[in-house]
Structure 1
Amino acid sequence: MKFRLLAFSLAIAVSSSAAIAEPSDSVLAFSTDNDLFAPTQTDRDYTAGVAITYSSNSREFMNNPVSRASQGLDNLLSSGFHTESGNRESAALEFGVYGFTPEEISATTIDRTDRPYSSLVYLSSSQSYQGLGEGSGWTTSMTVGMMGLDVFKSSQDSIHKVVGSDQARGWDHQISNGGEPTFRYSAAYHHYMGSNEPNQQVKTTYFGSVGYLTEFGAALVFRGGLISSPDNRFNPELMAYGERAPGVSAVGGRESYFWGGMSVKARAYNAYLQGQFWHSDHELSANDLNVLLAEVWAGYTYSFGAGATLSYVLRAQSSEIKNGTGNRTLAWGGLVFSKRLGAR
């Protein structure tokens, strides 16, 4: 019921605004991640995710009920940037699901030295703001969701049955099994360097979040080639596993460019490994986890006719777990197909 309610809320917000938003300002994207998309082709850690994202800079969409709640939280918590309507540049809503598994998925017993099963069904609202100074900006995101539902488990079982892979048999031990509400709020400051160069863009980002992922860090991001989409909708450094909003690029013309970056972060809490308030059969303690993490990524974006764009990205992150079976580098790949609404 709660999964259907989240999907219904996103559908209402998108459909009510899409009809009145200017076509050139609105993008609908479908994204999917899988560790099988990486060269290592493993089936563990952040194993897969699926999301639908709608992004627009129309005033009507930015004032939908979900975005207004997120913007109200920005006003309440943040004083480093202006949140008046004149300074908001775009907003995004994203609905998705993703999950994590240990290395040995065919076992029913728990490997206490590996990561637990965990999953999230979520709705995220994000906004981009113009910075106080030239060449700067802010993005914020509010995510609500449910951990521990059977949505990801059922999807994984169906896909593995079709492709003939081993069934994951430990989902009864996942974090917050049965469903537990969760929340995350994040904010990031961007400094754009060389933004006057049409074929090369570089920026630094300083970010932080509180909630099921509590962390802060810094990132260096670049892209080079044929670029026509705006800086404020290109934020690959803000991906939190499967969550991309507001990282959907709005195409203003033909595009063909490579992009990449790196980030370092200090993470104080990870609910996917440590659990939340409710009991979980398998949880790791803070002493089991690395505080400092590094992440690198590289991708390519190409636009087709009628405002359609396809992107591929490969990501790698240093180990989240200090010792044992779970002490390994994470790697996964992702595909994003986006369509500029109204383009011909």
Structure 2
Amino acid sequence: MQAITQDAYGPPQDVMVLRDVPRPVPGERDVLVRVHATPVSGTDWHLARGLPYVARPITGWRRPKTRIPGYDLAGTVVETGTAVTTLRPGDQVYGWAAGTFAEYTSVPEKQLVPVPTTLTLEQAAAVPIAAFTALQAVRDGAGLRPAGTGDSPSAAGDTGRRVLITGASGGVGTYAVQFAKASGAHVTGMCRTSKMDLVAGLGADEVVDYTTTPLRDLGRRFDVLINLYGNPSLADCARVLLPGGTIVYVGGTGGRWFMGVDRWLRGMALAPLRRLRTRPVIHTDSRDDLVTITGMIESGAVRPVLDRTFPLARAAEAIRYVTAGEVRGQAVLRCAD
């Protein structure tokens, strides 16, 4: 089979190579999936370069521990292990796994669920990890309860809460807008000019162009700030939050060692002095959450936003496209037909 391989750290165009590699053999509780599509994100760019350095005990000190990149997928089951009971060959599935930049990958049965009937495989590939992260930021970080996740918005008292989401047009942001709106909150999304129509179309009550109105100049306050992959100062966050408000940190940018996590830590230490709460969110892969998200997609409450599809051989180009900042929602690689 063909797969993108990486044997060293560096810019994706220098270290990601398309090669023929052996097809994996599933274990007794695994299934072999023919990968139709897998998403690309800014995380792929960071990991290709071995960043942040603090993560290298997990990702690999001198070279990637996992030779084939990629972490979520949609595809078709072609073979099952002897102990697999819920899936069979021919099933269309999506979920998360290691090594998805490939035509085939072996995946534990518990990490896959059936593809929503309303989605293509390419659309489905844009769901798992981005949607986990957004749901957990909104539900667990912000304390909101989107309808369809087990608690009604009115019961949770979310109706009327004012939520500001930065990075609202990205892979995680487009889901966060929809989950926050499904909770009954008043949602304001921040993005660049060219993507304001997208965020409005996802249900945001208000959209702010950060290129003309930065966070510190908004001039109004919110109950919750969901800060996606940015590093505003605590002072700027405080300017847009009501007393007792919550900052939800997801990802970050910054130095090679910590990629902004150090700013989270400073914010967590100092926020109480400003009568604010902080909630850092590092997503947890969850089959239960994916089942919940599937139901919300099939009900029409949530939809993935798919920008472009690239062939597997152009993985590095796809990653460059995403990190250039022009992507609306997500881009995916088409690995196999």
TM-score grouping bracket, smaller chain normalisation: under 0.3
Question: What TM-score, normalized by structure 1, do the two folds share?
Answer: 0.25
The structure with the largest strand share of the pair is 1
The structure with the largest helix share of the pair is 2
